[in-house]
Amino acid sequence: MVNTVQIKIDGGDEVGGLVALHDWLRGEAELAGFVKLGRRAAGAEELGGVLDVVTVAVGSGGVAAVLAQSLPTWIRSRRPAVKVTITSPNGRTLELEAAEAADAERLIMDLLRQVDDGA
């Protein structure tokens, strides 16, 4: 079963950050076909939807492990620092900043294991 994880960014240039994160994750060979940019619906005063999330289809072929390894490196590289919120398909969230990047791989894997376990 494939589940989709959503990743949002708070701080700095959020749209630019989402594009940079999308490109970073697609640069990982194991993630390339599983990463997409998502848009929220356009508001009454907007011409089109605004980028607001990166989605990653996880659940097979080690995609979760590659995401858990790659995302902390990207978070540490951001200037100015950003906060990343990961939302699992079951609605659980995890917020990470550069200061937590050292534990991020374990925290992300714990979050994604809860999805696999049906928690």
Which of 3.10.450, 3.40.1350, 3.40.50, 3.30.70 is the CATH number of 3-40+49-116?
Answer: 3.30.70
pLDDT at 94 over 70: yes
What does the block give as tokens for 53? 């999330």
The answer for residues whose C-beta is within 8 angstroms of residue 13's C-beta and 6 or more apart is: none
How do beta strands 83-87 and 50-58 pair? Answer: unpaired
For the chain, give the number of residues: 119
- Segment 59-80, tens digit of pLDDT: 766 888 899 999 988 888 887 7
DSSP secondary structure letter of residue 8: E
In one letter, which amino acid is 105?
E
What does the block give as tokens for 23? 């490109």
- Segment 18-22 shows an average pLDDT of 94
Q: Considering only CA atoms, which of 91, 40, 89 is closest in space to residue 64?
A: 89
- Vertex 59: Cα angle to 23 and 5 (nearest 5): 50
Residue 12 pLDDT level (bands cut at 50, 70, 90)? confident
DSSP secondary structure letter of residue 84: E
Instruction: Record the pTM.
Output: 0.84
DSSP secondary structure letter of residue 91: S
**First vs last C-alpha separation in the chain:** 15
